Chain A
Amino acid sequence: MSLLEVKNLKVHFPVKQGVFSRVHAHVKAVDEVTLSVGVAETVGLVGESGCGKTTLGRAIIRLVEPTAGRVLFEGEDLTQLRGSALRSRRRKFQMVFQDPYGSLNPRMTVGQIIAEALDIHRLVDGAPARQQRVAELLRAVGLDPGHAQRYPHEFSGGQRQRIGIARALAVEPRLIVCDEPVSALDVSVQAQIINLLQDLQEQRGIAYLFIAHDLAVVEHISRRVLVMYLGKLVETADARGIIHAPKHPYTQALISAVPVVDPASKRRRIVLPGDVPSPIDPPSGCPFHPRCPVAEARCRVEVPLLREVSPGHWAACHLA
């Protein structure tokens, strides 16, 4: 059994317009997404901005209410849980955010930030135990336990991201949704955080849903990779398959667009025309067809479904 199973998840946001604020349309931020994450597995989620990555991550941990679909955590449907039942399950999944600045309360010390997570779930008894656990957690993320009395602004961006990770670890989660955790960091610090996440996974058996727009980072950290476009999954396979043998023309373009360091590599670059269309009024048929270099007549009318094009490799393309 997978740790997490997401089935046909939809998140549609109403769009209001005009003086009467009538709902006249919906943003299909997440549309019929199905995925699973195994115990201690890392699944990467890539796609361009606005394709629904954050909304999918937030819907999984119920920070936004799904419109339809099911989210099974260890076999239990989270979308059916309310109140205290939901709160007690919340412990098992956490989120780490892109912006370490915005996600830490500036008026609390680092020690208080981490202790708060422990207290909400009543994980420690008494001040000495709490203090000891905070120290343990700070050490686990490579920070000096002596810094528990300091405030977030006294730390660098990379250190703040470590604090965010310590807070997530405090409740011993089984799954952490990492939403672009290294995107705002300098490259030398990115590597420190990526290595830390990998070490923690090895030591604690935590699974990650790792969201990023940097394909190289996602390939590096993930066992499997999901590619999203306009709210839908368009391709999923193991990381090798996605990077070396992409089947969907969108994935192919995405990979070919990454500038590579090696000046000797003369790759063929597919430059996609135009911009990502609006998720309010997505194109008919295959949502990618207006930008697709190989689209045919039927791509404008028939919606392609995800199908297994080779063992373990799924793509939503009529031509794959």
Chain B
Amino acid sequence: MSLLEIRNLQLEFGIGPTALRAVNGVSLTLAAGETLCLVGESGCGKSVTALSIARLVPSPPARYVGGEILLNGKDVLRMNKADLRGIRGGVVSYVFQEPSASLNPVFRVGHQIREALKLHRPDRARAEEVVRLLKLVGIPAPELRMRDYPHQLSGGMQQRVMIAMALASEPKLLVADEPTTALDVTIQAQILDLLRDLRTRLRMSILLITHNLGIVGDLADRVAVMYAGQIVELSPATDLLQRPLHPYTLALMNSVPKLGAGAQRLTAIPGNVPSLEAMPPGCRFHPRCARARPECAREVPGLIEVEPGRWVRCPFWTQPLPARQEALG
């Protein structure tokens, strides 16, 4: 049994005819100890999907209109408050992009970690445990740093504190939502190293949200690419990076400059990500797709397993793409 299994998740904001469907049929699984990356451009539904695992999307306005989220076999969407508290405090923990927004500026960081312990592991809410957690996330001189206020720490150190707080409850699954996006590249490298190290030491599963394909290559076992509220490709990371099958994945990879590749012209994706109010009919990517055919505007493609472990939401995935897809602006 997988640690996490999301089946056909459907989430809307608002009610009635004006409701906007932000997540439209997302399915994925995550095994114990596995790292899955969720990739996609802003607004495609990564955060909302990830927050749903512990039912943290405020509802209203959010409404779950279909699907299930099985954590250790139990459906989170049908849990009572006590069970939800149980998974928030012992199964799933979150780390977000902006540590400064998640830390309380008026309390020392040691105090904040201790509060997290009191909530989830009251038997261990002691200074030694705070020091152990700070050491675990690589903070030098933890006995001193625990007395610091958040503003006295750099962004990288703040993010380590957030990770320490997330680890306080000994989660089976760490959800990291763009944890390095706000950090400089040398600090990002430190945090990625830390996550890699923690994963093996604590045998956690990690759901890592990023828009950086380099991070996928660095850390992921498997990767799910999202576009406009749907997964368009789900695959072992190495396979996907070496041979993307969905036109959007390929276009995304071609649109980023690669370090060491020189000045070769980039192949931009024409147009913009569609808004929830104006979702194109048929395949949601078709207006920007180099491979689009007339039927793509009519028929909604399903996510199909085209090779063992490789899922693609495009019936024409075997068709060659035009050599270059130029920007239309």
User: In whole angstroms, what is the CA distance A254 to B185 when docked?
Assistant: 7
Residues in chain B near residue A132, CB distance under 8 A: none
Q: Is B272 in contact with A275, judged by CB distance below 8 angstroms?
A: no
Main secondary structure of the interface of A (DSSP, over half): helix
User: In whole angstroms, what is the CA distance A27 to B263 when docked?
Assistant: 36
Contacts A219-B262, A220-B257, A244-B260: A192 and B327 contacting too (C-beta < 8 A)? yes
Residues in chain A near residue B32, CB distance under 8 A: none
Would you call B184 an interface residue if the criterion is a C-beta within 8 Å of the partner chain's C-beta atoms? yes
Chain B, interface size category, equals: 35 or more
Q: Is B187 in contact with A275, judged by CB distance below 8 angstroms?
A: yes
User: In whole angstroms, what is the CA distance A49 to B266 when docked?
Assistant: 26
User: In whole angstroms, what is the CA distance A6 to B231 when docked?
Assistant: 50
Would you call B154 an interface residue if the criterion is a C-beta within 8 Å of the partner chain's C-beta atoms? yes
Beta-carbon contacts of A238-273 to B below 8 Å, as 1s and 0s?
A: 011001100000000111111111111000010110
Stretch binding the partner chain, chosen from A31-39, A94-102, A210-218: A210-218
Residues in chain B near residue A143, CB distance under 8 A: 329
Give residues 236-292 of B contacting A (CB, 8 Å): 237-238, 241-242, 251-253, 255-270, 272-273
Would you call A181 an interface residue if the criterion is a C-beta within 8 Å of the partner chain's C-beta atoms? no
Closest chain-B Cβ to A63's Cβ sits at a distance in Å of 24
Residue from the set B216, B257, B265 with the largest chain A CB neighbour count within 10 Å? B257
Q: Is A216 in contact with B189, judged by CB distance below 8 angstroms?
A: no
Would you call B77 an interface residue if the criterion is a C-beta within 8 Å of the partner chain's C-beta atoms? no
Q: Is B212 in contact with A259, judged by CB distance below 8 angstroms?
A: yes
Set A194, A213, A262: member contacting B185, Cβ < 8 A: A213
Residues in chain B near residue A156, CB distance under 8 A: 272
Residues in chain B near residue A220, CB distance under 8 A: 257, 261-264, 266
Set A48, A191, A221, A243: member contacting B256, Cβ < 8 A: A191
Residue from the set A188, A215, A254, A258 with the largest chain B CB neighbour count within 10 Å? A188
Q: Is B242 in contact with A263, judged by CB distance below 8 angstroms?
A: yes
Closest chain-A Cβ to B299's Cβ sits at a distance in Å of 24
Set A189, A257, A262: member contacting B272, Cβ < 8 A: A189
Residues in chain B near residue A188, CB distance under 8 A: 41, 251-252, 255, 268-269, 273
Q: Is B259 in contact with A258, judged by CB distance below 8 angstroms?
A: yes
Residues in chain B near residue A186, CB distance under 8 A: 41-42, 211, 273
Closest chain-B Cβ to A113's Cβ sits at a distance in Å of 19
User: In whole angstroms, what is the CA distance A198 to B266 when docked?
Assistant: 10
User: Which A residue sits closest to B270, measured CB to CB?
Assistant: A192
Would you call A158 an interface residue if the criterion is a C-beta within 8 Å of the partner chain's C-beta atoms? yes
User: In whole angstroms, what is the CA distance A238 to B256 when docked?
Assistant: 21
Residues in chain B near residue A142, CB distance under 8 A: 329
Residues in chain B near residue A216, CB distance under 8 A: 256-259, 261
Residues in chain B near residue A239, CB distance under 8 A: 262-263
Residues in chain A near residue B189, CB distance under 8 A: 256-257, 259, 269, 271-272
Q: Is B217 in contact with A263, judged by CB distance below 8 angstroms?
A: yes
Residues in chain B near residue A256, CB distance under 8 A: 189
Beta-carbon contacts of A101-142 to B below 8 Å, as 1s and 0s?
A: 000000000000000000000000000000000000000001
User: In whole angstroms, what is the CA distance A258 to B262 when docked?
Assistant: 15
Would you call B38 an interface residue if the criterion is a C-beta within 8 Å of the partner chain's C-beta atoms? no
User: In whole angstroms, what is the CA distance A188 to B154 when docked?
Assistant: 31
Closest chain-B Cβ to A43's Cβ sits at a distance in Å of 14
Closest chain-A Cβ to B202's Cβ sits at a distance in Å of 20
Contacts A188-B273, A271-B193: A260 and B258 contacting too (C-beta < 8 A)? yes
Residues in chain B near residue A243, CB distance under 8 A: 259-260
User: In whole angstroms, what is the CA distance A186 to B238 when docked?
Assistant: 23
User: In whole angstroms, what is the CA distance A194 to B189 when docked?
Assistant: 26
User: In whole angstroms, what is the CA distance A146 to B264 when docked?
Assistant: 33
Residues in chain B near residue A191, CB distance under 8 A: 255-256, 266-269, 327
Residue from the set A220, A221, A276 with the largest chain B CB neighbour count within 10 Å? A220
Would you call B146 an interface residue if the criterion is a C-beta within 8 Å of the partner chain's C-beta atoms? no
Closest chain-B Cβ to A294's Cβ sits at a distance in Å of 16
User: In whole angstroms, what is the CA distance A289 to B266 when docked?
Assistant: 37
User: Which B residue sits closest to A259, measured CB to CB?
Assistant: B214
Would you call B45 an interface residue if the criterion is a C-beta within 8 Å of the partner chain's C-beta atoms? no
Q: Is A187 in contact with B255, judged by CB distance below 8 angstroms?
A: yes
User: Which B residue sits closest to A273, measured CB to CB?
Assistant: B190
Q: Is A257 in contact with B258, judged by CB distance below 8 angstroms?
A: no
Would you call A67 an interface residue if the criterion is a C-beta within 8 Å of the partner chain's C-beta atoms? no
Q: Is B186 in contact with A257, judged by CB distance below 8 angstroms?
A: yes
Residues in chain A near residue B157, CB distance under 8 A: 275
User: Which A residue sits closest to B220, measured CB to CB?
Assistant: A263
User: Which B residue sits closest to A217, measured CB to CB?
Assistant: B257
User: In whole angstroms, what is the CA distance A243 to B212 when docked?
Assistant: 19
Closest chain-A Cβ to B3's Cβ sits at a distance in Å of 24
Would you call B48 an interface residue if the criterion is a C-beta within 8 Å of the partner chain's C-beta atoms? no
Would you call B215 an interface residue if the criterion is a C-beta within 8 Å of the partner chain's C-beta atoms? yes
Beta-carbon contacts of B185-201 to A below 8 Å, as 1s and 0s?
A: 11111101100000000
Would you call B213 an interface residue if the criterion is a C-beta within 8 Å of the partner chain's C-beta atoms? yes
Give residues 104-154 of B contacting A (CB, 8 Å): 154
Q: Which 5 A-B pairs have the closest CB atoms?
A: A259-B214, A142-B329, A191-B268, A220-B257, A257-B189
What residues of chain A have their CB less than 8 Å away from a CB belonging to chain B?
Answer: 48-49, 142-143, 156, 158-159, 186-192, 194-195, 198, 213, 215-217, 219-221, 239-240, 243-244, 253-264, 269, 271-272, 275-276
9 contacts between A and B (CB under 8 A): A188-B251, A190-B255, A216-B256, A253-B186, A257-B186, A258-B214, A258-B259, A260-B259, A261-B214
In addition to A194-B268, A217-B257, 14 A-B residue pairs with Cβ atoms within 8 Å of each other are A48-B186, A187-B255, A188-B269, A191-B268, A192-B327, A215-B259, A216-B256, A216-B258, A259-B212, A259-B214, A260-B214, A260-B217, A261-B213, A263-B238
